[in-house]
Amino acid sequence: MAGLVTLALVVGLLAYGARRGAGRADGVPATILATPEPPPVLESPPVVESWPRWGVTHTQYSADNEDDAAARARDLLSRVPMLQNQHIMGWGAGNPEPAPGKYDFRDLDRRVKLMAATGAQPVLTLCCAPDWMKGGAEGRTAWSKIEVAPLREHFDDFAKLSATIAKRYPTITHYMVWNEFKGFWDDVHNSWDAEAYTDLYNRVYDALKAVNPKIQVGGPYVPVDSHVSSANSSELKGPWGAIDNRPLDSIEYWLKHKRGADFVVIDASSATNDKGLVPDEFTALQKFSTMTTWLRQKSGDLPVWWAEWYIAPDNIGWDEQHRTAVQVAAMMEFARSGAATALYWNPQRRTGDDCPGCMWSPGSGDEMPMAGVLSGFTRWFTAGAALVDVTVSDRRARVLAVEKQMVIVNTTPEPLSVTVDGKPFDLDAYGVEWSDRGQ
């Protein structure tokens, strides 16, 4: 009998060890610090008269990864205080909690310090989750599974991690919960699992508000697809296509069942999933205004945040001037439709790589067009800025104006002579020009 008991204990221990060790060969060893790093000392964000509206999301490579170019890149980020966003795991940040209660915030500290040093209004995206929260092993990180959501039994653990981060960085008071519903797709129903996401969101919301009731929290950060023709098309449509009904249903579920929210978050591309840009790259941008208006109506006019926005399929082949013109026109749509926040996903790359759409050239730190665009819009077109209608002699030129400044974009591939607000302008093909209105 004793032998049977011993055998049962051995089998049980082996089974337990197998469960604990599942996936131990998957991924790379994560650093578990013997002595936790103390929280960084951070300057408070600069006081601004109104919400800057515009900003940038840091990705794998940013100004903290550059060598010779670091100072130039930091100058571009700091010359006008703008929003800066960082994910807590991935996109430049390592695993923040490689084992339960064992933290490694060194990467996140570095990015948070970069944001503080460059005068940012800081934002954190609470994504993604350590492996042990999603069925992986403690002490390892499988980056190939970064888009896996935490298991339901670990939702409270993720909320606790979120609260730990909020306590560590008291100068950060804006948080987006998760990213693009990663891991929340329901294959059985061919739709998003909005119920599970909302459960996670509510637990994180409660945890953050318990740290500081003044913390601003938003979701659901669902990707909003559109099509020319699809069985899932909604009635929300235009010449640019039709919105997929599944993200709309998810947003409405979240709005109905959320514990609370200080803003509503989505992301999208102006391109359709089936036909690309329709009927053209500039008309397609109307999708952004349509979605912003719909969100404001459905949410009771919660501030609308665009966590990511894209103006073309990958590898479109445009030159930098063409790309910048479409991006400027997109930002005009956000401003006119009353979006509160629009974060630019900065596609920064390694030294030596081409970097279309980047803020600075990798390696040199030389300014690229989007840096100036973001600085200009942040300075002149803050949230709530009073827009002014101005006369335009040719509608192929698009204009956004406030009392003292305006920006003009030529939407054609040819030079364009146009009179705007009573002043003549000769615009290059896809040219962008800023002008003082002289008042």
SS3 at position 407 = strand
For residue 439, the model assigns a pLDDT of 58
Each residue's pLDDT tens digit, 267-305: 999 999 999 999 999 999 999 999 999 999 999 999 999
Question: Backbone phi, then psi, for 374, in 5-degree steps?
Answer: -65, -40
Look at residue 21 in the predicted model and tell me its pLDDT: 36
**pLDDT number for residue 152:** 98
Contact 146, 92 (CB under 8 A): no
What span, in angstroms and rounded, lies between the C-alpha atoms of 295 and 314? Answer: 27
* Bridge partners (DSSP) listed for residue 398: 409
Q: How many CA atoms lie within 13 A of 37 on its CB side?
A: 17
What confidence category does residue 25 fall into, taking pLDDT thresholds of 50, 70 and 90?
Answer: low
Q: What is the pLDDT of residue 363?
A: 87
Q: Is the pLDDT of residue 24 over 70?
A: no
Residue 86 has pLDDT above 50, yes or no: yes
* Region of residue 338 (phi > 0: left; psi between -120 and 50: alpha; otherwise: beta): left
pLDDT above 90 covers what percent of the chain? 87
Q: What is the pLDDT of residue 32?
A: 87
- Per DSSP bridges, beta strands 226-227 and 241-244 are antiparallel
Cβ neighbours of residue 262 under 8 Å, at least 6 residues apart?
Answer: 216, 217, 218, 302, 303
- Please tell me the predicted confidence (pLDDT) of residue 66: 67
Q: For residue 221, give the H/E element and its range.
A: strand 216-223
Rounded distance, CA 311 to CA 322, Å?
11
Q: How far apart are CA 264 and CA 411, in angstroms?
A: 31
End-to-end CA gap in the chain: 96
Three-class SS state of 416: strand
> Residue 119: left (phi > 0), alpha (psi -120 to 50), or beta?
left
Q: For residue 294, give every residue at least 6 positions away whose Cβ sits within 8 Å of its Cβ, in sequence order, or none.
A: 236, 248
Q: Phi first, then psi: give them for residue 158, nearest 5 degrees.
A: -65, -40
Residue 156: what pLDDT? 98
Tell me the three-class secondary structure of 3-59, residue by residue.
Answer: HHHHHHHHHHHHHHHHHHHCCCCCCEECCCCCCCCCCCCCCCCCCCCCCCCEEEECC
- The pair of structure tokens assigned to 376 is 């200009």
SS3 state of residue 406: strand
Does this model's pTM top 0.75? My answer is yes
- The dihedral through the CA atoms of 298, 303, 307, 309 has a sign that is positive
Decide if pLDDT at 119 tops 90.
Answer: yes
Helices 286-298 and 320-337: angle between axes, nearest 10 degrees: 30
Minimum mean pLDDT range among 224-228, 351-355, 410-414: 351-355
Angle between helices 194-211 and 245-257 (to 10 degrees): 40
Contact 301, 255 (CB under 8 A): no
Report CA-CA distances (Å) from 324 to 193, 244, 311, 312, 335: 36, 27, 10, 11, 17
Which candidate, 144, 215, 141, 150, places its Cα nearest to that of 178? 150
* Predicted pLDDT of residue 352: 79
Q: pLDDT, tens digit, for every residue of 219-246?
A: 999 999 999 999 999 999 999 999 999 9
